[in-house]
Structure 1
Amino acid sequence: MLVAVTALVIGYIGAGLPAGPASAAPGCRVTYAISSQWAGGFGADITITNLGDPLSSWQLRWNFTAGQTVVQGWNATYSQSGTAVTATNVSYNGALATGASTGIGFNGSWTGSNPVPSSFTLNGTTCTGSVISSPSPSATTPTVAADGTGRYRTVQAAIDAVPANNTSRVVITIKPGTYREIVTVNKPYVTLQGLGSTAAQTVIVNNRSAYTSGTSGSYTMVVSGRDFAGTNLTVSNDFDETSTPEGQQAVALRLDGDRTTLTNVRVLGDQDTLLVNDSARAYVRNSYVEGTVDFIFGGGTIVFDNCDIYEKRSTGGPITAASTPAAKTYGFLFYRSRVTGATANTTTLGRPWRPDAQVLYRESTLSSTIRTSQPWTDMSTNIWQNARFLEYRNTGAGAGVNANRPQLSDAQAANYTPQRYLAGSDGWNPVG
């Protein structure tokens, strides 16, 4: 069997970059392209092209030097043990016919220097080829910078430049700053990546409300393109709900697209901060969401993994307002996350926007902000006991078991994992 890996050079990588051969036996080749660099981090892209017999599945392996770590990946499942990294195909790009190609990529963190791997193996075959050892000058230039030092001054201008039928990952890097605009991500395979040392340094913000735009139209950012990734940034709606006597919904982030991943992202607002529509599946990890009333809502499927959820209103309120369709098994999962709030015994875990709402808090830490005796409430004519509201092995001052707190059994819990929530019909597994 003969296999090969060739370079995927997208977005910022141009011709004439330095390349050197990797020492390996004949049979396949690999080219590794650094697509962007920033303080403490980098992005890289690879394309795998099979020149031998058809492959039903593949694994690409290499070794980093100490201090380099894959923190987010796309189009493959990444694992790392020490310096050894393995990229394994996911279902939608696992089979490679003779001559077929597939692109993968990742963001990484590093300390010290950032040399590239010297050799790769594909399904155990050591590959020869070239390695791009440094990015082009444009790779170190932010795609977006409000001060004019990037390619574009606004996030939307950078998204508009992506081809409508884009088929490869495009990483849009955003220089630290405040970008007051409305952002529409309507192209597939787009990554928005803040270049600050924290998510708080790169902020996309606006202040529309339901009064002028309707609830679903009040967003600061809407994602309708599939396979979107956001990392190291903030999306905010800074409309003040107390500015009108009746209060107003104001969405910060609306998710319509399938297979969204958010890593180290802050989503900030008051009422109705994060809308997850029926068409969306999303995986949110190491992130932060805050609001006042129903601030995570909708009929889609979303998993919060190792996230912080904060009820900021002193009088408390419901965190979720799920509207999961009856035919959909999975709605919202809070997994190994933390729920806190401004005051004690005031916050509820949720209420059913539609009768069959599905929400699970699993193995999470619930602080004293939770109203322990009655953590679920009704919404209009929808009775919380008729919804699919569940807990499993939560801890903290706000945790507990009583007649108002339905619990999963250990046997049932096997069917309520992050992987089960997100798998869908295509086997999507961004959890790694």
Structure 2
Amino acid sequence: MRVLVVTFWLLFTASNAELGGRDNEIQLFPKNGQQNVNPDTHLVLTFPSPPTIGNNGTIRVYDTSNNKLIDMLDLSIPSSPSPYGNGSTKANYSDTTTYQTNIIGGMDFYFHPIIVRDNAATVYLHNNQLDYGQTYSVETDSEVFKLADGSYSTTNSWTFSTKSQGPSPDAPEVIVAADGSADFNTVQGAIDWAPSNPTQRITILVKDGNYEELVYWQYKTNLTIRGESRNKTIVGYPNNSAFNPPNRQGPSRRPAFSFHGVSDVQLSNFTINNYYRGQAEALLIEGVRVIVDHMTLNGSGDAFTTYGTIYVADSKLTGDGDTILGYGSVYWLHSEVVSTAGAVSWTRTVQGIHGNVFVNSTIIGDQGNSTFARLPDNSGGVMPNWPYAEMVLINTKTAGIAPVGWGPVQGPPFDTSHLHLWEYNTMDLEGNIVDVSERLNVSKQLRLPEDSVTIAEYSDLAYVLGGWTPVVVSS
């Protein structure tokens, strides 16, 4: 994968001594002496060959007006207990090691201080350390970047100046562009700017580009995030439950993109990727009246975790087992879910709400080995077997689903009368009715005319979503 950073970079020629006796050019972003830089900028150094990251050295940013150290990244600090996302997924509360930590949206995350893609090294300063109307200098120790021939590389310090001020606090729309040509360079920067309770809906328009950043926010309302184009506006990050294991308290830290305690939020027309495997959501939603419209979500296990009330329209989700971890009421319309391994979902619906309801949508499993939803043995938990689990399919096209359709439903005997593992008019991809003669005995086939009321109710947005009828905000 290539990080797309489109800018007019300065060709910076370092001395032979700095580059281990070689003449080379290093492209810098922001360029040396650049004015009107957004304070949420990343720093990008593009080398003539792919660099590797050293285990020592620092990157330092100073305020040139008083030579005050504003931010520092120390490469001797490990990025995570599992920097490649392949270690334990359990929290180790006795671990006293200091890891690279960034405060994002008010919550602490372990993070990669530098990510190298091809020849470009993107440096992630700690969030919200730079300010408007300031001039900064950047200094990099020689140990930070290592070149292909084994030599270490550095740059002379370079400077840039930030814009005098940001967007008006009452602006109804701001624009994000990776090349720094708009209001913000990063999605997170624009979200941090957005007021928590605006008097009117705020739109964040994200221009085409690759935004490799961890996105998280809390307690905001009336917010639309819209990409310029679905396949070319890409937001993603390498994260999972091993890289960011659970805290003692607080929301999950393993998604690439997540938000908590929100209302009336809409995501439209872009792609979210999680680049690690394991328990690795592309998207985690905890909020009410959330719209996911014309989106592409690519995660791994638990690729999409849901809490609250959510409307998913004309979107595609891909994961590799328990692809939907569903605590919320979600109405899926004209959408597609692809689960490349295991069960498509683990639906954890509690009493009194609806679960995952698919209408005129498509579900594709793993070569005939997948089921729509599983309920593993939770007899030792607070909610053994999730007896109110609900997943309803209406006019849904399918492929790769085992003849049993559902399960396994495990554990000691429990009351299954409240399970809603229901289907009506399930088809193959060509529109032919599938054989449901071997379906799990606790599932149900809805039929006309006897189930006409139930079919009509579950086809109704407001019924599934607790009285809310979503309206997609157009561009």
TM-score (norm 1): 0.59
Residue 222 to residue 285, structure 1, CA distance change in 2 (3 Å): same
**What does residue 323 of structure 2 align with?**
295
**What does residue 412 of structure 1 align with?**
454
1:213 aligned partner, one-letter code = P
SS of 2:188 mapped into structure 1:
helix
2:330 aligned partner, one-letter code = I
- Segments of structure 2 that go 5 or more residues without pairing to the other structure are 1-170, 376-384
SS of 1:415 mapped into structure 2:
helix
Residue deviations 1:201-254 (CA, integer Å, cap 9, x gap): 1111112211233393201111332111111101121102xxxxxxx3111111
Give the drift of 1:407.
Answer: 1.4
- Segments of structure 1 that go 5 or more residues without pairing to the other structure are 1-138, 241-247
**What does residue 229 of structure 1 align with?**
266
Asked whether the 8 Å contact 1:371–1:398 carries over to 2, the reply is no
Give the drift of 1:374.
Answer: 4.1
Are 1:252 and 2:282 an aligned pair? yes
Are 1:336 and 2:360 an aligned pair? yes
Name which of 423, 436, 440 aligns with 1:391. 423
Name which of 332, 335, 345 aligns with 1:307. 335
Name which of 368, 371, 376 aligns with 2:402. 371
How many percent identity over aligned positions? 25
Name which of 225, 238, 244 aligns with 2:275. 238
**What does residue 226 of structure 2 align with?**
193
Give the drift of 1:358.
Answer: 0.6
Residue 351 to residue 180, structure 1, CA distance change in 2 (3 Å): same
Provide the C-alpha distance between the structure 2 equivalents of 1:391 and 1:238, rounded to a whole number of angstroms. 33
SS of 1:257 mapped into structure 2:
strand
Are 1:401 and 2:436 an aligned pair? yes
**What does residue 123 of structure 1 align with?**
none
Provide the C-alpha distance between the structure 2 equivalents of 1:184 and 1:381, rounded to a whole number of angstroms. 39
Give the drift of 1:309.
Answer: 1.0
SS of 1:143 mapped into structure 2:
strand
Provide the C-alpha distance between the structure 2 equivalents of 1:379 and 1:232, rounded to a whole number of angstroms. 39
Residue deviations 1:175-220 (CA, integer Å, cap 9, x gap): 1111111212432111111112xx1211111122112333932011
Residue 164 to residue 411, structure 1, CA distance change in 2 (3 Å): closer
Name which of 158, 161, 171 aligns with 2:193. 161
Give the drift of 1:398.
Answer: 8.1
**What does residue 213 of structure 1 align with?**
245
Provide the C-alpha distance between the structure 1 equivalents of 2:351 and 2:424, rounded to a whole number of angstroms. 22
Provide the C-alpha distance between the structure 1 equivalents of 2:390 and 2:425, rounded to a whole number of angstroms. 17
SS of 2:331 mapped into structure 1:
strand
Provide the C-alpha distance between the structure 2 equivalents of 1:384 and 1:159, rounded to a whole number of angstroms. 45
SS of 1:228 mapped into structure 2:
strand
2:297 aligned partner, one-letter code = V
Provide the C-alpha distance between the structure 2 equivalents of 1:263 and 1:273, rounded to a whole number of angstroms. 17
SS of 2:387 mapped into structure 1:
coil
Residue 294 to residue 421, structure 1, CA distance change in 2 (3 Å): farther
TM-score (norm 2): 0.54
RMSD: 2.5
Give the drift of 1:340.
Answer: 2.0
Are 1:170 and 2:202 an aligned pair? yes
Which stretch shows the higher mean deviation, 259-268 or 353-362?
353-362
Which has a greater percent of helix?
1
Provide the C-alpha distance between the structure 2 equivalents of 1:293 and 1:257, rounded to a whole number of angstroms. 24
Across the two proteins, how many residue pairs are aligned to each other?
A: 275
Who wins on radius of gyration, i.e. which is larger? 2
2:360 aligned partner, one-letter code = R
2:300 aligned partner, one-letter code = D
